[in-house]
Amino acid sequence: MANDIANEVLAAWETSSQYWNKHQALIEMMYAPLSRALIEDAHIGSGQTVLDVGGGSGEPSLTIASVVGGSGSVTYTDPAAGMVKAARDEARRRGLQNIHFHQGPAEQLPFSDNSFDVAVSRLSVMFFPDVLAGVREILRLVKPGGHVSFVVWAARDLNPFFSVVTTVLDRFVPADKDDEDAPAAFRFATPGKLAKALQQAGAVQVTERELAFTIEAPINVERFWELRTEMSDTFRNKLKKLVPDQVAAIRYTVQKAVAGYFKTGGMCFPANVLVVTGKKARN
Ligand SMILES: C[S@@+](CC[C@H](N)C(=O)[O-])C[C@H]1O[C@@H](n2cnc3c(N)ncnc32)[C@H](O)[C@@H]1O
């Protein structure tokens, strides 16, 4: 059963990777404040060795590589081969020499105990099939006293980038009842939930802060539709079940519903995440 869930999650991200690759630059721009928050809360600086878990199309690894510089290094990990390829290609394109790449899930990483100064994970822990095993593995790899920092989405209604679209879609294709603990984007939206998981995994001095930011990019409503329908596995699967007239109706309704978030300069959605940080205990 646990393996079935892990395989399902991985298959979905493997399919998504071609779109995360296609929209890499946009994703980097939209979520840049989240990479900055991780760098700040995990106290990342020049010369450090950093582990990035679930690095997707490259963030926060690519940003952190320039912060740690030539005397430091970043080890990017992700279980989806397509994501690893996208991130590696982008690092090569930028001529970054201080990133290493590994394909594999958080729950099982082939590094020695205490290998890294710090570990971070941006918008990924909610998809770990076994969160406790994943966080324990991350803590094993960090040196005693080292920070581990995670960013997760806060409540869906604080994130219209997602909620406006899902509200429209649910009217056409009713959503299945959510299992609050299943791998999904809003699995850790309840304040305190991820912090508790970190404590259970053995992290100490666990803190949580809410971060309000704006998802900004110079794109129009048409490009937003393309981005949202391609990036989300749920969205893609639901649209596949509909006839072209229904898709056209959803597209029209979504574009009308999000119009207020677009100005002459492009897209601007208010957004909200939780940044949860702990430390590995010193024994
Ligand atoms: C929403 S994306 C975030 C990617 C990137 N960190 C970012 O913020 O742009 C979630 C990522 O989690 C990865 N993921 C899924 N299951 C995972 C697991 N068990 N361990 C580590 N990463 C996982 C997916 O392959 C995907 O790349």
- pLDDT surpasses 70 at 235: yes
Query: Rg (Cα) of the chain, in Å, rounded?
Result: 19
Give the atom of ligand 1 at the shortest distance from the alpha carbon of 35.
8
CA–centroid distance, 124 to ligand 1, in Å, is 4
Mean pLDDT of 129-147: 98
The ligand 1 site (C-beta within 6 Å) comprises 9, 13, 27, 31, 53-57, 59, 78-80, 83, 105-107, 122-124, 127-129, 134
CA–centroid distance, 114 to ligand 1, in Å, is 22
pTM of the model: 0.96
Mean pLDDT of 200-222: 97
Separation between Cα atoms, residue 122 and residue 153, nearest integer Å: 10
Q: Is 241 exposed, middle or buried (0-12, 13-18, 19+ CB in 10 A)?
A: exposed
pLDDT at 160: 97
**Residues in a beta bridge with 213:** 271
Mean pLDDT of 136-144: 98
pLDDT, averaged across the chain: 95
CA–centroid distance, 136 to ligand 1, in Å, is 17
Count CB neighbours of 270 within 10 A: 13
Place of tokens 């710090």: 118
Tens of pLDDT along 145-193?
999 999 999 999 999 999 999 999 888 887 777 788 899 999 999 999 9
CA–centroid distance, 44 to ligand 1, in Å, is 21
Tens of pLDDT along 150-162?
999 999 999 999 9
pLDDT at 1: 56
Closest CA to 236 of 169, 157, 159: 169
pLDDT at 257: 95
C-alpha dihedral sign at 170, 175, 181, 182? negative
Tokens, residue 32 = 């840049």
